[in-house]
Amino acid sequence: MSTRLWLGSRIIASVAAIVFLPSGVIDAQQSPPGSLDHFTGHPRAFVVSDIGNEPDDQMSFVRLLLYSNEIDLEGLVATTSTWQKAVTHPQTMHEIIAQYGEVRPNLLKHASGWPTAGELDQLVSAGQPAYGMAAVGPGKSSSGAQALVKAADRNDPRPLWITIWGGANTLAQALIDVRATRSPAERAKFVAKLRVYSISDQDDAGPWIRRQFPDLFYVVRPSPANSGEYFYAT
């Protein structure tokens, strides 16, 4: 697959997954029959990205902002992955948002509903600055994990789509925090609000989440432990 085609399919798949249920070309944990989401308004989205290690996520992030009048963005978290194991780059998100702010007046000439750069800046946070499950656990919560819990807890009947462009350990930490502090019924209610779409498994957190939380709606084309065959996930 060419780089251009790969990048295009990558962001289109992430955005489309927010709106459409997946087909059989990818794996998804099963939901009960008839459990389609019914809601009004825009879909809610929480983006987890290993932005900053190479240009692909910056390109995807620019593309996402050009859809931001059609999606209610509720979190933008910079994370690690198998390609970037020891650092996060939330500042890269802020830099792109600043550039978006410069073109927003022109976007408003064509449609309404574009969030301000200031509103988007408030959504940016960071996950654990280390790789996978070794970086999560009791007492290891991050601002990104806390933001995810806060978004899911918001009183809103719409499901919260979590699009994972990098590693999934921020989601793992959020689930660990909820499991440690809530009753089984409260945990089940929290998990039922989430819809996860992951671009492959870019750390070991995704497989752990699916084992520990089998009722979580999780769409992914899994990768081997070494993150090989990653490109098939697009």
Return the pLDDT at 18.
Answer: 47
Return the pLDDT at 4.
Answer: 38
Model confidence at 142: pLDDT above 50: yes
Pairing state of beta strands 44-49 and 72-78?
A: parallel
Average pLDDT score over residue span 161-190: 97
Pairing state of beta strands 124-126 and 194-198?
A: unpaired
User: Tokens 């499991």 label which residue?
Assistant: 179
Contact 94, 63 (CB under 8 A): no
Banded model confidence at residue 208, pLDDT cuts 50, 70, 90: very high
pLDDT in tens, 106-137: 999 999 999 999 999 999 999 999 999 999 99
Pairing state of beta strands 27-28 and 217-220?
A: antiparallel
Domain boundaries, the chain: 48-227
pTM, to two decimals: 0.85
Return the pLDDT at 234.
Answer: 61
Return the pLDDT at 35.
Answer: 67
Contact 44, 51 (CB under 8 A): no
The three-state secondary structure class of 221 is coil
Q: Which residue has the higher pLDDT, 36 or 160?
A: 160
The three-state secondary structure class of 90 is helix
Contact 60, 165 (CB under 8 A): yes
Q: Which superfamily does 48-227 belong to?
A: Ribonucleoside hydrolase-like (3.90.245.10)
Model confidence at 139: pLDDT above 70: yes
Return the pLDDT at 58.
Answer: 97
Neighbours of 185 (CB within 10 A): 8
Q: Which of 152-156, 211-215, 228-232 has the lowest mean pLDDT?
A: 228-232
**Strands ordered across the beta sheet of 217-220:** 27-28, 217-220, 194-198, 160-164, 44-49, 72-78, 124-126
Return the pLDDT at 226.
Answer: 67
pLDDT in tens, 149-175: 999 999 999 999 999 999 999 999 999
Model confidence at 8: pLDDT above 60: no
Model confidence at 93: pLDDT above 90: yes
Q: Which residue has the higher pLDDT, 89 or 21?
A: 89
Q: Tell me how far CA of residue 102 lies from CA of 69, 93, 116, in angstroms.
A: 16, 15, 10
